[in-house]
């Protein structure tokens, strides 16, 4: 009997992952719309806590303010990226000359007879694959932006009736109370993760911007934005966020001093915030195993690429809460936890 159950669960898991991969074009826009819907409502609730003359802001005003904030941030991000892309294209010839000089100096220093070409050296640094994957993901999101907006609009229309639908769906009052507690737990833990990660990423981006400005690195604001965004990807994101500004520093300056300074400084900022301060807050509130987070990152990276990497920790938080409250999957929740202790409703 146990063997049959294990076989059924294994088939179900394999089928689920197969459907996630095959149905990516359909499921990913829905998930992205859900993420934006949740974040807009989360910010709206934050605005509702503000009081003017002892009175809270109206709900419709908080929602409008939250939606306007997201539109303004999106517009500013696109504007900043487009401006810096044009700037990079303008100084690209200078960067190429500096890079060729450094390559020639390195070749002469080691006495290499047959120098590799610039194309061969570029192939050795396999950052192009990540850039290509990132560009492909962004292109896919932009191409599906119309579908995402439609899903988002219907989610906002439907959210007023969600509470009534839940009550009608679950007739038993005790079960309804448990489901509502479970949903609140999921919402609270995801909110904790988003808040902690937002503060940590914002702090890292601001400190990196100040540091890059002091060194005199070109496009410091763009690199700070990139660092802020990539820090939402566990582990790998912070590494990539350090590599790109360091490489630009390498080709911008004539000497190697600024390169080592930027690489060391950005790494120090990432270690201080990402590896020392952030885990203290994230670990105590979410109690997730770092090893499981890394494995989960790899798994969702394979399934949904770059968007999956951004969503992997919220997915893990939801799975952890659900597994911890089902007797059949409690053991899985223990394995996912950092210290073996899990909170039950």
Predicted confidence (pLDDT) per residue in 244-303, tens digit: 888 888 878 877 788 899 999 999 998 888 777 776 666 555 677 778 888 888 888 888
Distance in angstroms (rounded) separating the CA atoms of residues 285 and 299: 23
Provide the pLDDT for residue 135.
53
Whether 98 shows a pLDDT value over 50: the answer reads: yes
Distance in angstroms (rounded) separating the CA atoms of residues 337 and 345: 16
Distance in angstroms (rounded) separating the CA atoms of residues 100 and 280: 44
Distance in angstroms (rounded) separating the CA atoms of residues 82 and 225: 13
Whether 119 shows a pLDDT value over 60: the answer reads: no
Whether 232 shows a pLDDT value over 60: the answer reads: yes
What percentage of residues in the chain have a pLDDT greater than 70? 77
Provide the pLDDT for residue 111.
60
Q: Largest Cα–Cα distance in the chain?
A: 81
337 pairs with which residues across the strands? 288
Whether 25 shows a pLDDT value over 50: the answer reads: yes
Q: How far is CA 143 from the centre of its chain?
A: 20
State the average pLDDT over residues 60-87.
82
DSSP classification of residue 329: G
51 pairs with which residues across the strands? 56
Whether 318 shows a pLDDT value over 90: the answer reads: no
What digits encode the pLDDT tens for the residues 141-184? 566 677 888 888 888 888 888 878 877 787 778 888 888 888 88
How do 51-52 and 55-56 pair as beta strands? antiparallel
The owner of tokens 């190429």 is: 96
Q: What is the mean pLDDT of the chain?
A: 78
Residue with the bigger pLDDT between 237 and 123: it is 237
Distance in angstroms (rounded) separating the CA atoms of residues 335 and 287: 11
DSSP classification of residue 52: E
Q: Are 196 and 285 in contact (CB under 8 A)?
A: yes
Band (124; pLDDT cuts 50, 70, 90) = very low
Nearest CA among 220, 343, 201 for reference residue 285: 343
Q: Are 339 and 283 in contact (CB under 8 A)?
A: no
Provide the pLDDT for residue 236.
80
Task: Please state the φ and ψ torsions of residue 315, each to the nearest 5 degrees.
Answer: -60, -40
331 pairs with which residues across the strands? none
Provide the pLDDT for residue 197.
84
Whether 28 shows a pLDDT value over 80: the answer reads: yes
- 84-93, 223-232, 277-286, range with the lowest pLDDT: 277-286
Distance in angstroms (rounded) separating the CA atoms of residues 282 and 305: 24
Q: Are 42 and 191 in contact (CB under 8 A)?
A: yes
| C-alpha Rg value of the chain to the nearest Å | 24
Provide the pLDDT for residue 125.
47
Domain segments of the chain as ranges: 23-49+58-109+116-169
Band (212; pLDDT cuts 50, 70, 90) = very high
Burial class (CB in 10 A: 0-12, 13-18, 19+), 51: exposed
Provide the pLDDT for residue 168.
79
Provide the pLDDT for residue 286.
63
Residue with the bigger pLDDT between 213 and 277: it is 213
Band (207; pLDDT cuts 50, 70, 90) = very high
Provide the pLDDT for residue 55.
80
Whether 206 shows a pLDDT value over 80: the answer reads: yes
């Amino acid at each position: 009997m146990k063997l049959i159950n294990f076989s059924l669960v294994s088939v179900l898991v394999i089928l689920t992952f197969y459907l996630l991969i095959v149905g990516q074009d359909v499921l990913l826009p829905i998930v992205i719309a859900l993420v934006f819907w949740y974040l807009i409502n989360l910010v709206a609730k934050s605005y509702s806590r503000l009081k003017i003359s002892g009175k809270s802001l109206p709900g419709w005003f908080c929602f409008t303010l939250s939606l306007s904030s997201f539109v303004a941030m999106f517009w500013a991000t696109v504007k900043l990226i487009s401006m810096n892309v044009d700037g990079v294209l303008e100084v690209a010839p200078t960067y190429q000359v500096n890079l060729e000089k450094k390559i020639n100096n390195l070749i002469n220093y080691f006495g290499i007879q047959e120098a590799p070409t610039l194309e061969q050296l570029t192939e050795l640094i396999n950052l192009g694959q990540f850039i290509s994957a990132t560009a492909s993901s962004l292109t896919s999101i932009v191409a599906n932006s119309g579908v995402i907006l439609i899903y988002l609009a219907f989610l906002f229309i439907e959210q007023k009736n969600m509470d009534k639908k839940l009550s009608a769906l679950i007739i038993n009052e005790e079960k309804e109370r448990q489901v509502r507690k479970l949903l609140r737990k999921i919402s609270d833990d995801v909110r904790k993760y988003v808040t902690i990660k937002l503060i940590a990423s914002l702090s890292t981006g601001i400190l990196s911007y100040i540091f890059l400005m002091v060194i005199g690195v070109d496009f410091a604001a763009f690199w700070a934005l990139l660092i802020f965004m990539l820090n939402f990807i566990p582990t790998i994101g912070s590494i990539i966020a350090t590599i790109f500004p360091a490489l630009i520093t390498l080709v911008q300056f004539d000497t190697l001093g600024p390169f080592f300074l930027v690489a060391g400084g950005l790494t120090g900022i990432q270690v201080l915030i990402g590896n020392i301060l952030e885990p203290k807050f994230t670990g105590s509130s979410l109690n997730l195993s770092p090893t499981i987070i890394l494995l989960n990152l790899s798994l969702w990276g394979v399934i949904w690429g770059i968007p999956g990497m951004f969503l992997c920790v919220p997915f893990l938080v939801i799975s952890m809460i659900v597994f911890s409250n089902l007797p059949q999957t409690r053991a899985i929740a223990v394995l996912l936890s950092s210290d073996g202790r899990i909170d039950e409703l």
